[in-house]
Structure 1
Amino acid sequence: MKKDSPTLSRRGLLGASAVAAATVAVGRPAAASPATRTQLPTDNYRIDLHAHFLPPDYRSALLSHGFVTIGGYPTPMWSPEAAIDFMDRYGIEAQALSVSDPGVSFLRGKEANDLARYCNSYAADLFKAHPTRFAAFAVLPMPDVPASIAEAEYALDVLGLDGVVLLSAYDGIYLGDPRFDPLMAVLNARGAYVFVHPASIPADAKPESPIPDFVEEFTFDTTRAATLMIATETLVRFPNIRFQLAHAGGTLPFLSHRIGLAAQTPIGDLWPATVPRLSVLDVKNRVNRFYYDTALSAAEPAMRSVLAVTSRDHVVFGSDWPFSQLTLTGSGDPQPELSETFSHEDRVEIERINPLRELPRLRDAVGG
């Protein structure tokens, strides 16, 4: 890993987010309460927007470079057959596949470009062979912005992939940093759907802890990326991009008001000159534009926090399979906790209607 940038870096944001992020007033209250008037559908109705794949050559590359765990979780096996079996056991019609952390960022130059192209071509072939079972978000050879632009154009325009997956940070530089603006402009021009997945933090940039990164640090890193995108007005400057935050937005919904207090206090006088100072309303309007997935975050405390900052139509279903396979070993309802917050009608909206609205190619393939 390269050392952190002296400007909008991973370490810099740790200190700056308290003063550089903005204010969020409490948003809409939850509109739904658990209901028992109807039953959930018994067929494969769910559309999974947080699901991963590890094509053979990609998994081999990970292992050969020492990635025997991802975020502290043992690097899983994956196959199309296993994915379809999982979907059939849990009422999932289709998965939008993406490469998880570390993407292809453990490589550089031609190796990174070639591995990204391999993964994206593999995904395109997969959903052509199984058009009603798979969609895909393209992995890019970040942090190489010119190469990532070229791959995004090829993946979206030629391969017809359904969006792009970006990690929260690359080499300590977070999404929202102006160095990534040329890529954002390309994605904005295409109205791209962008899945923001957390990245593992280098050991020298976090406290020592026996707790695996996927338990806590992943959620914190999603929060840092979202906070910087708000503070640098990424969502305003690139309004056609729809950003999905993994794991219910990390800790962003819970911290949204606290993060923004700086704008209302004397601390606001210390606002960095390079970061726009936003109003309370500005930030509220930014936070509620993100999409929030349910992966490993379906319980009521997380969902109530999400509904406090956005509306139900910005919540989408995610399983995090195969990284969640140790908790999903049977069949039936993959996230029964959702019924603590949502009615069955609302769950169908979250688990099917909202995801298909954002992925028109998949919507056409499965028939709406």
Structure 2
Amino acid sequence: MTLRPFAGRPTSRRRLLGGSAAALGAAALSTTLPTAQAAPLRRQPPPTGNYRIDLHAHFLPPDYRASLLEHGHLTIGGYPTPQWSPEEALGFMDYYGIQAQALSVSDPGVSYLRGPEANDMARYCNTYAADLFRAHPTRFGAFAVLPMPDIAASITEAIFALDTLRLDGVVLLTAYDGVYLGDPRFEPLMIALNQRNAFVFVHPAAIPADAKPELPLPDFLEEFTFDTTRAATLMMVTGLTQRYPNIRFQLAHAGGTVPFLSHRISVASQTVLGDLWPDNLPKPSVLDIKNQISRFYYDTALSGSPAAMAATLAVTSRDHIVFGSDWPFSAATLPQTGSHDPAPGLSEIFDAEQRMDVEHHNPLRQLPRLADAVSG
């Protein structure tokens, strides 16, 4: 099947969704969104014990962190590149009642390298992760980093990481070299992941300085959420999430702004954008986009607030919400002092049983290898 971006133009960070935003801004169509399933706002006691399964947690193996610093990555998304060790991770987990973490490499992945260097660094990180969860089988899982944007090398590494190392899934950035997930050039990788029923964690990437406004704010504060929205939207409107139903996609930080913008996204094909829709792609309907939005998984990292969770519950069911801490990048907001609850805002939306679903049962349903290790 031949796919092409809208109107034959290359899909870049600015073009498709920048133009779409203008069209959507002119739309004034009325469609009813699902009713929020949140409980009344009131503080409720959380469960107790080490029960949480953390699906948004990062690691920086020593050689990888050294390489980042050597190549000038002193900050990640504007946050100083943190220290990390298994011992520090376990201490954090024990303090905050986290039974296990599914570790992933954050932005920039290994995309700051190219060729054999990128391949070797991805293999090093993935092998390090596999060794770590073999040493601590009930405490760690991992999502494989791939040597993107090299598609052929990434397919090779994904097959090795999932089939041989038995990692729990794959982490992909929202975009590589300005090209977002959903672009046709990623199709071969998606085919391989779909064949393996892969769980894919979509993590935001920093936007190049020449492609964003000059604001005195770090990327992780706002830009990361916007980039997740751009990637998720493109994945839906190009039909990627329809073509590969066996891939389960987790969107970081409660989907960025996807829940808030769900109505605007859903009416895209009914605006001027609909006239530019490629003939070889199905034009999504309002109900279709709603359905696709509801099928994403949304993590609570830096989003465990009543406002964020109420918006998320308005577009999906509770079983599609999973716990995330974003540690060690959240170390400043999650110091190991005071409360042992890493997301107290969740108790203003969920009771103890519902929090157990979000923080334990929902994550383990998606990661069968880790679920077996934890229960065994």
1:176 is aligned with what amino acid?
G
Residue 30 of structure 1 corresponds to 37
Tell me, yes or no, if structure 1 residue 293 matches structure 2 residue 299.
yes
- Secondary structure in structure 2 of the residue aligned to 1:288: helix
Residue 73 of structure 1 corresponds to 79
Residue 373 of structure 2 corresponds to 365
Residue 340 of structure 1 corresponds to 348
Separation in 2, partners of 1:17, 1:291: 24
Residue 207 of structure 1 corresponds to 213
Structure 1 residue 267 displacement after superposition = 5.1
1:226-284 superposed Cα distances (whole Å, 9 cap, x missing partner): 00000011111000000000000000110010123333345533445565421111101
Separation in 1, partners of 2:331, 2:268: 41
1:184-240 superposed Cα distances (whole Å, 9 cap, x missing partner): 000000000000000000001111111100000000000000000000111110000
Separation in 2, partners of 1:56, 1:25: 50
Cα distance, 1:10–1:36 mapped onto 2, change above 3 Å: closer
Which segments of 5 or more consecutive residues in structure 1 lack a partner in the other structure? Answer: none
Residue 322 of structure 1 corresponds to 328
Separation in 1, partners of 2:59, 2:92: 13
Tell me, yes or no, if structure 1 residue 229 matches structure 2 residue 232.
no
- Secondary structure in structure 2 of the residue aligned to 1:136: strand
Question: Contact 2:36–2:314 (CA<8 Å) still a contact in 1?
Answer: yes
Structure 1 residue 349 displacement after superposition = 0.3
Question: Contact 1:25–1:284 (CA<8 Å) still a contact in 2?
Answer: no
Separation in 2, partners of 1:64, 1:132: 33
Separation in 2, partners of 1:107, 1:201: 17
Structure 1 residue 36 displacement after superposition = 7.1
1:158 counterpart (149, 159, 164):
164
Structure 1 residue 344 displacement after superposition = 1.3
Separation in 1, partners of 2:169, 2:258: 23
1:228 is aligned with what amino acid?
L
Cα distance, 1:229–1:25 mapped onto 2, change above 3 Å: farther
Please, which moves more after superposition, 325-334 or 288-297?
A: 325-334
Structure 1 residue 15 displacement after superposition = 2.2
Pairs aligned (count):
363
1:68-101 superposed Cα distances (whole Å, 9 cap, x missing partner): 0000000000000000000000000000000000
2:105 counterpart (76, 99, 106):
99
Structure 1 residue 341 displacement after superposition = 1.1
Which segments of 5 or more consecutive residues in structure 2 lack a partner in the other structure? Answer: 1-7
1:265-318 superposed Cα distances (whole Å, 9 cap, x missing partner): 455334455654211111011000000000001111111110110000000000
1:111 counterpart (105, 114, 117):
117
Residue 65 of structure 2 corresponds to 59
Structure 1 residue 12 displacement after superposition = 1.5
- Secondary structure in structure 1 of the residue aligned to 2:53: strand
- Secondary structure in structure 1 of the residue aligned to 2:295: coil
Question: Contact 2:126–2:161 (CA<8 Å) still a contact in 1?
Answer: yes
2:10 is aligned with what amino acid?
T
Tell me, yes or no, if structure 1 residue 14 matches structure 2 residue 22.
no
Tell me, yes or no, if structure 1 residue 284 matches structure 2 residue 287.
no
Seq. identity, %: 70
Tell me the C-alpha RMSD between the 2 structures.
2.0
Separation in 2, partners of 1:201, 1:25: 33
Residue 3 of structure 2 corresponds to none
Question: Contact 1:253–1:308 (CA<8 Å) still a contact in 2?
Answer: yes
2:185 is aligned with what amino acid?
R
Question: Contact 1:35–1:343 (CA<8 Å) still a contact in 2?
Answer: no
2:17 is aligned with what amino acid?
L
Separation in 2, partners of 1:184, 1:17: 25
Question: Contact 1:48–1:94 (CA<8 Å) still a contact in 2?
Answer: yes
Separation in 1, partners of 2:43, 2:134: 39
Separation in 2, partners of 1:341, 1:314: 15
Residue 268 of structure 1 corresponds to 274
Separation in 1, partners of 2:272, 2:71: 48
Separation in 1, partners of 2:59, 2:84: 6
